[in-house]
Structure formats: structure tokens, C-alpha cells
Amino acid sequence: NAGVTQTPKFQVLKTGQSMTLQCAQDMNHEYMSWYRQDPGMGLRLIHYSVGAGITDQGEVPNGYNVSRSTTEDFPLRLLSAAPSQTSVYFCASRTSRGSTGELFFGEGSRLTVL
């Protein structure tokens, strides 16, 4: 049982480049989300999805796009990377939006933008 899988684990980009962070879960979870973690700032919610075809913004959505075409996958796109997007990104899922259950996190993707 893989849980939540994120790729890549590490990435270096130049300012202005685009890329997609991949997230897949095999638990049939309806709810998926992306957080970024910066020193002293904790985990901040970027975007989330309560089911296939439904996405919404979190606390810090600017500069990021998401889509949810399947239950399993929730990719995060950076259209034009900026140094301020240097961070560790975590994908997390849970059973459903109405659940009080735990969030299951991936191992993180460390992104550096030069």
C-alpha cells in the first residue's frame, strides 16, 4: 500500500521556468490538498480538491494551478517559477471533506528556484 506518492523529491528550476509536481494516492480518498512548508511559517494550504473535477483555493494560491481529473491524481503546476516559490511542498489526502479523519501526507518535494 503506497499511500500518497509525490514526484519529484528534489527539483531545481530557474526563474520563469514551469513545472508540475505530481501527487498520486491509492486509498480512494475524495479529498486531496497541497501545502507548502517554509521555515517559521508552518504548513500553508495552497489548493485543495473535494473530488474529481472540483478544486478550490487555499491560503496561498497565487502562482499555482491545480486540476483533478481523476480521484487518484492531483498535480500542482507552477506556470512561471519565482524564487519566492522555493519551498518544500507536501501533498495530503483524506477520506472526504466531511471526515474528521487524519490527513495522509506524502514525503514532500523540495523545490529550489534560482
What are the residues binding another protein (CB under 8 A)? Answer: 4, 31, 33, 35, 40-45, 48, 50, 56, 58-59, 90, 92, 94, 96-108
Nearer to another protein, 50 or 52 (CB): 50
16 versus 101: smaller Cβ distance to another protein: 101
By beta-carbon proximity to another protein, the closer residue of 55 and 85 is: 55
**Residue 43 Cβ, how far from another protein at the closest point, in Å?**
4
Handedness of CA 103, 77, 111, 59 (dihedral sign): negative
